[in-house]
Amino acid sequence: MAKTAPDLLTFGETMALFMPPDHRAIEGSAMLEQSYGGAESNVAIGVARLGESVGWFGALGDDPFGRSILKRIRGEGVDVSRASLSADAPTGMMFREMVAGKLTVHYYRKHSAASKMKLSDLDLEYIRSCKILHITGITPALSDNCRETIFAVVAAAKEAGVKISFDPNLRLKLWSIDEAREVVLPLAAQADYFLPGWDELRLLYDTDDFEAVKEKLVNLSAVSIVKGVGDTNVVLENGQVVEVPFYPIERVIDTVGAGDGFCSGFLGGLLKGMSVLEAVRLGSISGALVVQSRGDWEALPDWSTLESRLSDKGWVER
């Protein structure tokens, strides 16, 4: 009999990450720092730090990078019992640098272990026994078989009454916007929680008219949370539209991981029994804290930190 799953499950590709120190360009740096990152495992780590039960699964290469990633995600309190190490394909890699003040990411993930994931590799009973399945639009962009797999997993989860959380996480270095629309919009139609950024919706619906986009979102069965409409997150739930202001940010160091920080706070809030609006506020605080430090997941806050900000308790520095 399959092991009962954690309350939240997510799956996708986590890659070895290399970047120069001090926000430099790769060409001008003699050193590269090593870490790892992936939208889904970032969210899993964030939810685990909030004290909730969460699992991440995906395929990594049976190489030093994959083995290290698996150990480090497990060390964050995330269940990785369904993750696999492949002897036939490598762990994906990404290199990040600053060029002329702009963030640039270089992917080396074609033919990676994760890109070869297929439905027969996954434990569907494990997936069917969670409460929320969180997916992103990155996984179906990796390969045709990943695309087929994610639709089959969503169908199996929905049949079992599992709630679907979906962050489109558009990566246009992986596919074109036309290809993305063919996959992302049908997945949004099946989601219970749809978590796009306003910049992503403008591309997906090919318009800058928020009212036109809002009409599309209202027709979805999902609760939609649109991140970054001006200085607010906009919540569309049961025909109602509510704006939740951004949590104030003292300084911005690194915007990478902000969306994953928001999603982990939001999902963690739902698992704690919060309303959607309360969970959005928690997600906003989490995302705001993440951008004030460097790294994809390193600055994801724990529950005591978020709780103190949520209740507006003063920060004790020393």
Per the DSSP assignment, residues forming a β-bridge with 60 are 85
| Secondary structure (DSSP) of 250-271 | S--S--TTHHHHHHHHHHHHHH
Place of tokens 């995302």: 287
- Rounded to an integer, what distance in angstroms lies between the CA atom of residue 100 and that of residue 268? 36
- Rounded to an integer, what distance in angstroms lies between the CA atom of residue 204 and that of residue 159? 27
b/e map 159-176, b = 16+ CB within 10 Å: eeebbbbbbbbbbeebbe
Is 22 marked active-site? no
The CA-atom distances, in angstroms, between 153 and each of 9, 64, 120, 137, 318 are 12, 29, 11, 14, 48
Q: Which of 62, 167, 254, 260 is catalytic?
A: 260
- Which positions ≥6 away from 142 have C-beta within 8 Å? 13, 109, 112, 114, 115, 117, 174
Q: Are 22 and 30 in contact (CB under 8 A)?
A: no
Say how many C-beta atoms besides its own lie within 10 A of residue 11's C-beta. 28
- How much of the chain is in helix, strand and coil states, percent to nearest 5? 40, 20, 35
Residues identified as active-site: 260
